[in-house]
Amino acid sequence: MKIFLDTAETDVVRKHFKSGLIDGLTTNPTLIRKSGKNHEDVYQEFKDIGLTDISMEVIGSDTNMISEGKRLHKKFGKCATIKVPCTVDGLTACKELAESNIKVNVTLIFSQAQAILAAKAGAAYVSPFVGRVDDNSFGGLCLVRDIAKVYDVHGIETKVLAASLRGVRDAARAFEYGADIVTMPPNVFSGMYKHILTDAGLKQFDKDYAESIKE
């Protein structure tokens, strides 16, 4: 059971990494663009923080994804997990990279069938997009469950990395439904610490402690 952050905000990652609870990181071109930084500078900052599993997205034709994936792996080492889309070109690249002992995260997974193909191509991770599936009136968490079930039946080693999670409840339930890894925005991770009853209990304990030391 692992928790990844989904962000390109290096300062935020640095803060949360100190907790010892963050196992890796996912990001994408949109998040990196919003950061205003070069994507490889962002990857280097994450590596310097101490992250050992960073999904680095590649795009274009299969040959471009293969060459770029190999270049990123050579530059950043074992912390580089190459992120490709679940397309014909993406899975062609996945197979070639996996055969070169490079970890691949196949993203934009919206069906059990896609997850099966990604596993056949040698993906280390598949990323079903829970929130986006929900947006289209289907059950995102049910998709996580269905992928986890077929992998378990056939002894597939590919890990289910639940993505596009918008809230704490979905993040927690993704693990319940069989996800090996859950990636989430920093605000969702921060929300996992919180509960109204914890706050109330802590307030009461602080009050009782303050009164006890007066006695």
- The residue ranges of every structural domain in the chain are 2-212
Q: CATH fold of 2-212, please? A: TIM Barrel (3.20.20)
pLDDT of residue 44: 97
pLDDT of residue 108: 96
Mean pLDDT of all residues belonging to the chain? 94
**Which of the following is catalytic: 15, 75, 78, 83?**
83
Among the listed ranges 133-137, 154-158, 173-177, which one has the minimum average pLDDT value? 133-137
- CA geometry: angle 148, 76, 129, nearest 5 deg: 30
**pLDDT per residue as tens digits for the range 14-29:** 999 999 999 999 999 9
Average pLDDT over residues 53-80: 97
Average pLDDT over residues 78-87: 97
pLDDT of residue 22: 97
39 pLDDT tier (thresholds 50, 70, 90) = very high
- The full 3-state SS of the chain, as one line of letters, equals CEEEEECCCHHHHHHHHCCCCCCEEECCHHHHHHHCCCHHHHHHHHHHHCCCCEEEECCCCHHHHHHHHHHHHHHHHHHEEEEEECCHHHHHHHHHHHHCCCCEEEEEECCHHHHHHHHHCCCCEEEEEHHHHHHCCCCHHHHHHHHHHHHHHHCCCCEEEEECCCCHHHHHHHHHCCCCEEEECHHHHHHCCCCHHHHHHHHHHHHHHHHHCCC
**pLDDT per residue as tens digits for the range 93-150:** 999 999 999 999 999 999 999 999 999 999 999 999 998 898 887 899 999 999 999 9
Share of the chain above pLDDT 70, in %: 100
Q: Is the pLDDT of residue 214 over 80?
A: no
Q: Is the pLDDT of residue 215 over 70?
A: no
- How distant, in Å, are the alpha carbons of 28, 57, 70, 93, 160 from that of 64? 17, 12, 10, 9, 26
Could you confirm whether 83 is annotated as catalytic? yes
